Structures are given as structure tokens and as C-alpha cells.
Structure 1
Amino acid sequence: MSLPLKAKVSIRDNWEKPECRAQESMKKLKDVLGLEVYCEPQWLILVSELESFWEDKGELVSSVASFIHVWFEALTELLDDEAHEVWTDTLLTNVRELTSRLNLTVEVSENQRPSTKWSNAQLGFILYIPKDLTHQPAQYFGLFKEQLLECFEENRLSKTLPIHSTTGDEWADVGAEDREEEPVKPPQPGNKAPAVDYLPDPNTMPKPSALFQQAPYHLFVYTSASNRSQKIEIECSHSQTLEVLAEYLKRWTKTNVNRVDKPSAVEITLNHAASGFGLECDKLTLHCENRYGPIYNISAAAILNLVEGVFGYERVYGDSTSWHYRRDTPFKKR
């Protein structure tokens, strides 16, 4: 699929030209913030999701670019206001903890109202463009300022799922156990996938970030080890599962006291925003390197305990280095 000609021309005029409003407001934000600002809209996806609301695809692109311009202006005004000095410090801290630049990801909202939020998984802010015919994005300037001021007030991830298991010592020091290969569980009554008689239409299917919120969720755990390092990789079709698991493990990991810079004993990395299908994250990697002897270990057994006992996934396959899980019941929203 390629972009319509009008959309391409509008992208050139309203987004790519250095003198267009969006680029000028981005440069102004960069000067005020003192950091690089990165925003590269996925125009093909945005046009595909919004084209049913816009007969003129050039105006569609112009509207999206205007929303981005208004967002840049709102953030710049907040940063320029000394009354929000504490908020500015919080913003800079969050940016520098995750990356070296301010990132803005542009997505389509699930409703007719625009919004913005901070996302650790996306390494920055997300701007949601409304599913509607909007010719005056400037009217949402005040809304963006209000939402930007509120975006760091609560840690939304911590409210996604309850965590009641395993202390830090239990997972950071127990060696991984070898397990015998286990047979695949027979299908359970009532957990069968709905019968699909016809191939779905790719033009009417929801985007992956929305589609993969639906059960079943699939999760895979892989372990590997060498003389001086251990690694556990966790892949999951449900991004929020990985986000909550990463947050929990980061909270309880030990500090490597044998190094001057005192890093975490286990390097915990979410595959942030690198998914080719637009998921917030699709892989969590735990890595433990011991250059001076076996000081710290990471435990596959502890991870499996969390996956089964806390997150409620059921194992469908397992051998000595890999485990496959499935959850047929969707998580409830709080």
C-alpha cells in the first residue's frame, strides 16, 4: 500500500519542510528543552486509520501535523513557565532515565477525543489523534497542557496487576533448574478458540496494539547460559504483562556491589517500541554477567512461578531451556 498523491504532497508541505509550523515548533521546543526532540509519524498507518473520516487526504495529513504542532506549543509553554519548575525537573529526569532525547509517538485514539500521556514503553510521550473530522486542533491546546501536567502524577503500570509473590532475594540468587521435557496439555473444555470459517479482511481488522489486547495471550520463556553470563528472554503477545513483570523485577533486583558504579545485578531490558507491528513492547530480557566469578544468578524457576502463580498463565509445553504458556481469560480493567 502506498500513500495517495495528495497525502504525499501534504506531508512534504506540512511536515517535512523546515519552514512549516510543525518543524518550527519542534525546533523551538528543542531550544527551550536543551535536548533533541524526535517525532516521525507513521503516515501510512495514520492515513489508513483515519481515511474513512477524511475525503481529502491532504487535509487529513495537515490536521495531524497541526495536532503535533499544537502539542509542541503546549509543552514549550509549560517548560517556559517558572511555576512548573518541579514538573520540568520530573520530565527531564524521566527522559534522561530512558533515553537522551524527547520522543513523541503519534497514534490514533480509540474515540473522538485527542489525548496525550507519558509511556515508559514508548520511551516518551504518546499523542493520540481523534477518530474524527477535526479542522481546528488549536482548540485542544489547553487540554494538552492539562494532561501533560498530570502525566507524571501516578504510576499507571503499578495499578495494572496485583503482585503478591516472590521477594527480591528469592529471584536474584536461585540458580536455574533443568527440567525434563513435558508433554503438551490436552485442550481444556471451554477454552477452545472460536471457529473461524472465513479468512478475515485485513482492511477491517483492528490494529495489532488493539487486537493483541484480546485473549488468548501467548508467552514464551527461553534461557541460555555461558561460563560468565546468564540470560532469560520472555516474549509475550500481551505488552502489559511484560511491562508489569519488568517493573516488579526492577523493584526487587539487587545492586552489584562489586562494581564502582553500583549497577543492578541483573540487567532488565524491555524491547521498547521496536516491534515492527506497533506493539509497545514484545520482549523482556534479563541478563546477568559475572566477569569475576559466579556472584549473582538469575532464576528461571522464579520467573516461571510469577508467570503461573501471579499472572495466571497455563503451561502448554516445557523442556530444559524453554517454556510456552497461554492465558485464555483476558485481564480485567481496573
Structure 2
Amino acid sequence: MPFFRSSSPVKIRMGIRDTWDAPKSPLRVAISELSKLLGTSVEVVVDWSMLWNVLSPQYPDPTTFVPCIEEATRVWAECLHERLDSDALEDWTDKFLEKFKTPGGMRTDIGVSENGMDRPEAVWEENRNRMSLLFPKKATGRVYLNTLQAGFRSDLENLFDRKSVATTSAAAPMTLPIGGVSAVDEDDWSVVPPTSAAAPAIAPVQRNFDTPQAQAPAEVLPEKLPTLATLARPEILFETQTPYLIYVRKYGDKALHIEGSHQGSLTLICEYFQKWVRKDRNYNGNCANFGFGFDYPQVLEIDKQTSLFGLNAGFDYVKISCNRWELLNPTPFLAFIEIVLKYKLVEASSGVTWFYRRDTKFI
């Protein structure tokens, strides 16, 4: 039975219940079809506590964690079913069935890999006579459906050409096993409904492949739309995914709007210019209203406008207005976007609009 810290996100436990364990979920349907084809039970074993502990930095929105794991596992099951059902691959199927001649059915463990692969991969554990699905510990971005399909098809094609060597050394393991004994004290862990079965203790496994890692095809393939459940909330999605976009609009000689998808960039623009904007010492109002010492207003007003999307109080554009008779010069803002934030100008129109893009993530 899997365990979870009582402080673990509730959304993950809900995701396990609604996405992974639901009897009619796409994953359960795919596993059921694979089991019928093989004529034996198919079991996917997950230690959710350890998996979340290792991979949580990749999922700032916890609601996408289980759906992403479910999607990859489902695609693996569908690719394996497709291969086993192909008349043109009978030799491979015979070898697969020979390997999986076990009375307890087919069991697959889900683990974490540090071998540099940027997508989930299927590997064969020769010493344990078992297949494992390994998720990258340091993924650089979302893995799309087409990449999953191409990658798993390549993994299965070369499944038995790779060799693995078991080791008990934990100094620098290439693979972090999921399903083994937890590395933390479990006294304060609370039980959640089981996924498939309790995972036995497993020694770390180090892989030394004789052949190069199979990569997805180099040619550009058409992409399928991601599923809704795997997409984070807007304020998280646009902060963690590139490209970042900024659109600057000039309204007459007194106003400027800076619209952006990356709130961190907009925040830095606001903080920098608010720090250095000058005071309006020609203000003719009642200075007593500003307290002792005459706290003059600034010559510019910089207002953050709340976004219409998401769940928090984030903002997605900045309104800048000039309070004086002088013209508002947009070039310092444009220079800041290019010099400091290192966005690239994509398009400009008659000194009125500017469109910028950045493809490299901010740390």
C-alpha cells in the first residue's frame, strides 16, 4: 500500500483517486486491453511518495503531476499493445513472451532516471526479468504526446539490446528506484487508497548500456494537442514554459502599456523604473497632504493590472502614465526589455507597438 506524508498536496491524492485508480480511466482501459492481449495480468507499481519527493520541482502546479505520469504510462501500454499485436513483429513478440514467462503476470515498476534522457523511457531489467518506466529527474520541459510515442516505440524496438548491471552502491546511482524503502522516516505518513500493489524493497540499479541511448526521431513531427489535465494554471504555465512574450503599446504621448506572459519580467520592469522615477517637484497641490517634508508625487504612475485568468492575484500587463506636460519616452522601457531581460525584438510598427520574445527560461 503506498504511503503519503499528511502534508503532501491533496491534489495529488485526488489525482491518484480520479486519474490513476479510476476503473474507467484511459490508463485502466489501456492496461486492461494489454492484459487481454497477453492473456495474463499486467501490474504497474508506483511508490507515489518517493516519486513526488523526487520529481516535485518539475510540477509547480501539483494538479498536473498525476495526469502527466498517467499519460506517459498509458502511452507506453498502448505502444506495447501496438507492437505485440503486429503480425510483422512476430519474432520480437516471441522473444518478449519468452522473457515474461512468469506465473504472477507481467509487472512494471515506475522509477526515476538520471541518465540524461529528457523524456520517460522503457528499459529492461535483465537481472530482475522485468521492465521499468523511468522518468527523468531533470527534465527541461513538457514532453508532448508525439515525443512519448516515438520514444517508447524506439525503446521497445531496442528493449533487449540493452544490458543493466545491478549494484548495491548508492554513491552515484544512475537510477533512483521507485518502490523501494523510503529514505525518510515514515512514522508521520498517512495511508492513501492503494494504486495497484505494495512495492517490495529494491536495490538501486546502475545501467551501462552497450548501445547509445535511443532518441526520438530527428525529423520534425506533427504535434498533438496536450490533454487539459496535464496543463498547469495560467500563472504557473506561462511562468515555467517558454517562449516568454512581451507586447508594448504606446497610447498617444502620455501612456504606455506593457503586456507580457511572464510575470517575473513585468515585475522587474515595474520595480526598476519605480526605483528610479523622478519626483514631480512642480506639483501645485496642497503639499501638506503629503506630510512633513513635502512628499511630492512621481512624474509617472506605474500600475499593475490584475490578470483575467488564474487563481491568484497575478498581473499580466503594466499601465504607465505621465503626470506632467513632458512626453512619455518609451525607449528606456524598450532598452530594458532588450538589454536586461534579453528579449529579442520580433516586430515593430511605426513607433507605436513593439513585440518581443524570449526562448530561454529564467532560473
Q: TM-score, structure 1 length as denominator?
A: 0.47
- Greater Cα radius of gyration, structure 1 or 2: 2
